[in-house]
Amino acid sequence: MNWKSLFRVKPMEQILLESAGEGAVHGVQLTSGLKRTLSVWDLTSLGIAAVIGAGIFSTVGAAASNGGPATVFLFIFTAIACAFSAFCYAEFASGIPVAGSAYTYAYASLGELLAWIIGWDLLMEYAIGNIAVAISWGDYLNSLLSGYGIHLPTYLTTDLLSASRGYEKVKLLLDQGIPFSELLTNGATQGMLDAYTAWTTSPQLFGLHLIFHFPAVIATILVTVVVYIGIQESKRVANAMVGLKILVLLLVVGLGAFYVKPENWSPFAPNGISGVMKGVSAIFFAYIGFDAISTTAEECKNPQRDLPRAMIYSLAICTVLYVMVALVLTGVVKYDKLAVGDPLAYVFGPEGANVNWIAGIISISAVIALFTVLLVFQLGQPRIWMAMSRDGLLPGIFSAIHPKFKTPWFSTLVAGFIVGIPCMFMNLTEVTDLTSIGTLFAFAIVCAGVLAQDPKRLKVPGRFYTPYIDSRFIYPGLVLLGAFLWYRYGNESLINYLGNFDPANPGAVGFEVFKHRLPLTGFLILIVYLAAAAWWKRLSLIPLLGLTSCAYLMTELGIVNWYRFGIWLVLGLTIYFLYSRQNSKLGKSRG
């Protein structure tokens, strides 16, 4: 095997030519290119639509319950990490204004193998993220309908896995002689009782319980239809919904400010840095949408100018909104009471401001917000597949453009099935972190792609470039400062970290303990290497900080998610070596 061929880089000129819609790509006639209709404000709106969703309407409560009011710093730190990556995304998006996002950028800078890995990674990111969002949308819709006296059967609002687990837990309590009416005071939760009811009341077909999340399926069908019809329709839907939910958030902040009790902000960081960092997955999940803007590059009127601006605009607007909302939530209600699924509505209920009329408005806006997230993610995934298909790494039908709607019709339908079918039956509580780890990995690769560029290369007029700042002294200095702070204020010294893996048992050095430190150990090795590279190669500081911050956030997601992420990558590499490498258009063009 020619290992060098795995890292063959695709020239930017070739990428741009193939995206123009001229001729046939792998036997599929591209009748014309995608419709260019998006302005900078449309792009910014799409970014806001993707970023303001589940993170602000649900997961912010769980994060604040651990980190307290200091969770706002996690929002800011995550936004900074995303901003470093946004500069790198913007540089590639300006130079390669085609669909494909991080996959295309990696192909042009780091080679085919890493491009495939990123494409496969993005498939997981968008699919799992959208499944989770579809289920959340269904839950909010069901809650909203219940408020108007419309109650769907529990077997149509619960996934099969949750119903099965809940049934077993409740049955165990019932077998102990505890009456059903007393289960809530004897270890059961309302969710377990709902799951038990769903299992026992569901119809059966050939012995199989017909339990599925009906509202989530409806959401997926609706958004697939909108995306299939065209980018113009998707833009109009997103713009209308984004305007409404921003108004609602401003109402929450403006009204909630009158009910803030400053004493609720003390202590500001009740569980220290470790408590704040527990919310990494929940908070970062709120930010992953801004990269979806880059997947619409071929539908922008002026991508070189507008894509970079839209990424920065959407990130800045959403961060300000997130920080204001987090401050209001933790000011109105004590942080330890915010571990609820609907924190925005909760703080205006009896436990907080007791302004009940706004709860209905928040519930409606949550349904709208989650639908726009679903819309933008479902818009991005088919366009990444389209780019991979153009390169021969996926079958040619994935890059087919609808002659009337000018959308990647087949990829859109496949994306609908991949999201719609699993969200009917799956409980993704245990695997939602995969979305965050996959996105962080993509961000890190894009930053690495900019690092691989020669900072002294000839600049093309009109293109956006990440500002070059010499990292020779700054980055090693930051690494040394970080090591000192860890030694001075950390829970344990570096010596203890490397020697006694279990502080409670100084002699314990077993793998079962050490494996949980593997991600952080890998990160420490990485930053030492990057510090040396910064000194010798005078690397650009902004992408270097982007790579570092994303890599660190990945270490906070736990070893279990790394295992799952590794399994997914192994599966992707198997497909690459069995199919994609042999059918690569770049490989065939080079013989």
Give the per-residue pLDDT at 556: 77
Q: Are 5 and 587 in contact (CB under 8 A)?
A: yes
Tokens read off for 63 = 């994060």
Each residue's pLDDT expressed in tens, for the chain with a length of 591 residues:
556 666 677 776 666 666 554 433 333 333 345 667 778 888 888 788 777 765 666 667 777 888 888 888 888 888 888 888 888 888 887 777 766 677 877 887 788 888 888 888 888 777 877 887 788 788 778 777 876 788 889 888 888 888 888 888 888 888 888 888 877 777 777 778 888 888 989 998 888 888 888 888 888 898 888 888 876 666 676 677 777 778 888 888 888 888 888 888 888 888 777 777 777 766 776 676 667 777 777 778 887 788 888 888 888 888 888 888 889 888 988 888 887 666 777 788 777 777 777 777 777 777 877 787 787 778 878 888 888 888 889 998 988 888 887 788 899 899 889 888 888 777 655 556 667 788 788 888 889 888 888 777 777 777 788 889 999 999 999 999 888 877 766 554 444 554 444 555 544 455 566 676 788 888 889 999 999 999 999 999 999 999 998 898 888 777 888 888 888 889 999 999 999 888 887 766 554
Token duo for residue 473: 């002294």
Q: Which two tokens stand for residue 285?
A: 């999940």
d(CA 361, CA 322): 18
The answer to whether residues 291 and 318 belong to one domain is yes
3-state secondary structure 101-141: HHHHHHHHHCCHHHHHHHHHHHHHHHHHHHHHHHHHHHHHH
List the one residue out of 443, 449, 460 whose CA is nearest residue 539: 449
- 464 falls within a domain: no
Q: Over the range 398-436, which residues count as b (16 or more CB within 10 Å of their CB) and which as e?
A: bbbbbeebbbbbbbbebbbebbbebbbbbbbeebbbbbb
- CA dist., res. 211 & res. 195, Å (int): 10
86 and 64 inside one domain: yes
Residues 521 and 562 in one domain: yes
Neighbour tally for 540: CB within 10 Å: 24
What integer pLDDT is reported at residue 128 of this predicted model?
79
Question: What CATH number has the domain bearing residue 225?
Answer: 1.20.1740.10
State residue 531's pLDDT score.
94
The domain of 501 spans: 474-589
Going by C-alpha positions, the residue among 561, 562, 531 that lies closest to residue 547 is 531
Q: Which residues contact 246 (CB under 8 A, 6 or more apart)?
A: 48, 52, 321
Structure tokens at 167: 């049934």
End-of-domain residue from the set 446, 462, 488:
446
Residues whose CB falls within 8 Å of the CB of residue 527, separated by 6 or more in sequence, listed in order: 479, 482, 548, 551
Same domain membership, residue 117 and residue 9? yes
**Do 191 and 285 lie in a common domain?**
no
In a domain, 224, yes or no: yes
Q: Is residue 276 part of a domain?
A: yes
Query: Same structural domain for residues 262 and 348?
Result: yes
Q: Do 225 and 93 share a structural domain?
A: yes
Indicate if 65 and 121 belong to the same structural domain.
yes
Task: Give the residues across from 540 on adjacent strands.
Answer: 470
Count of domains forming the chain: 3
pLDDT at residue 431 in the model: 57
Domain stops at, among 211, 226, 244: 211
**Alpha-carbon Rg of the chain, whole angstroms?**
25
Domain assignment of residue 153, yes or no: no
Q: What pLDDT does 250 receive?
A: 87
Task: Give the Cα separation of 335 and 63 in Å (integer).
Answer: 9
Residue 258 lies in a domain: yes
Residue 431 sits in the same domain as residue 307: yes
Contact of 339 with 61, CB cutoff 8 Å: yes
Backbone torsions φ then ψ of 339, nearest 5 degrees: -80, 65
Say how far apart CA 561 and CA 520 lie, in whole Å: 14
Do 479 and 365 lie in a common domain? Answer: no
At 493 the pLDDT is 44
467 assigned to some structural domain: no
Residue 301 CA: distances (Å) to CA of 192, 298, 375, 409, 465: 51, 8, 20, 21, 20
Please check whether residue 460 lies inside any domain of the structure. no
Domain boundary among 446, 461, 488: 446
Give, as one character, the DSSP assignment of residue 402. P
Select from 16, 10, 50, 47 the least CA-distant residue to 33. 16
Measured distance CA(39)–CA(305) in Å, rounded: 10
Instruction: Give yes or no: residues 250 and 376 share one domain.
Output: yes
The pLDDT, as a whole number, for residue 17 is 64
Q: Does the residue 136 lie in any domain?
A: yes
Q: What's this model's pTM, rounded to 2 decimal places?
A: 0.77
What are the structure tokens assigned to 53, written together? 């969703």
Q: How far is the C-alpha of 145 from the C-alpha of 167, rounded, in Å?
A: 25
Return the exposure string of 97-117: e unless at least 16 CB atoms fall within 10 Å of the residue's CB, then b.
bbbbbbbbbbbbbbbbbbbbb
The answer on 359 and 487 residing in a single domain is: no
Whether residue 377 contacts residue 289, with contact meaning beta carbons closer than 8 Å, is answered with yes
Residue 272: how many other CB atoms lie within 10 Å: 14
